[in-house]
Copies of this chain bind each other. A is one copy, B any other.
Amino acid sequence: MQHVAEAARVSVATVSALLNGTATVSPELTQRIEQAIRDIGYKRNAIARSLKMGTTRTIGLTVPHITNPFFTDVVSVIQQAFDRAGYAVMLCCTDEDLNTQDEQIRLLLDRMVDGLIVARVGDGGILKDIVEDANVPVVLLDRLCEGVDTDAVVLDNRRAVFDAVTYLIHLGHRRIGYITGTSDISPMHDRMIGYREALQAAGLPVAEELVRSGNFHEIDGYNATMQLLSLHDRPSAIFSANNPMVIGTMKAIRDIGLSCPEDISVACFDDFPWSDVFVPQLTTVAQPVQAIGEQAANLLLDRLAGNRDAPPRKLVLKGRLMIRNSCRPLGAVAQSVSA
């Protein structure tokens, strides 16, 4: 800008005024300045601007795993939304680890991000302090956080699993295995409740040996399924509470020599693009990823636009049961269906 000003024989203040439209500058100088900018190939330095203005037009986004297709989709939507608004997004993967998350959030804050969207991990950690300081707005994604009172968009997980398990019960299943992630994050907690409530609503017992938990990864789903299938009275259906784990479930079923849905029915949380091309076509709970991403972005953009004092808003969206053919009717139900 220094150089531009010299070349155009004006002051830097004038150049700045023209660039930002903060004051009227005469046609003559406008002309000279624009010419100089072109000659020099000048580009305004956003870092210096950020320093002075106190805003970077950059937001931070952290997710546990980007390879989980649910997060992939949501990240994609969020990225697009902020791109449209002229914001850049810094992406971090926390790998389901609280320390990593804290570190990455610090990294983002150091870089003066204007806002944060967090699919949090563990208990909130450093998040609590950040929200309380209230310098940078935070919106929680997918997972609520006790003691962190801020904007959030989540799914009605309880209801979604309730519906899915109820569907299995209607098909005639009585012993339904359930594979959950670690229960310290809200969706897993709520989904588990949905499972229990569905059983109770149908007057079925909640057998603890049918509930297994893992750490979200394929291998955990595999191990959990192996355990379920080796029970003396094994379940006739399995519901897996997240997407990577159901891959493990399918592999375990295959390895043990069973097949789905003939020998065992399977349903899971999170839809994925392949779900209706291959056999079996998995019955899933689809999350409205587009809406989730857009709402999260909108909540944050609204705060960034200056609406800082409104009370925290919590958006709860509905999942949708995508019934395909990985669950088969059992017993009397099967009779009446085939009749």
Contact = CB atoms under 8 A, between A and B. Distances in A.
B93 A76 contact: yes
A170 interface: no
A45 interface: yes
A121 to B, nearest CB: 15
Nearest to A252: B277
A47 interface: yes
A90 B59 CA distance: 10
A47 B44 contact: no
Contacts of A277: 247, 250-251, 254
Interface stretch (A26-34, A106-114, A294-302): A106-114
Nearest to A112: B47
A111 B46 contact: yes
B112 A92 contact: no
Contacts of A280: 278-279
Nearest to A259: B279
Interface in A196-222: 218
Interface string A61-73: 0000111010011
Interface of A: 43-48, 50-51, 56, 58, 65-67, 69, 72-73, 75-76, 79-80, 83, 86, 88-93, 104, 106-112, 218, 244, 247, 250-251, 254, 272-274, 276-280
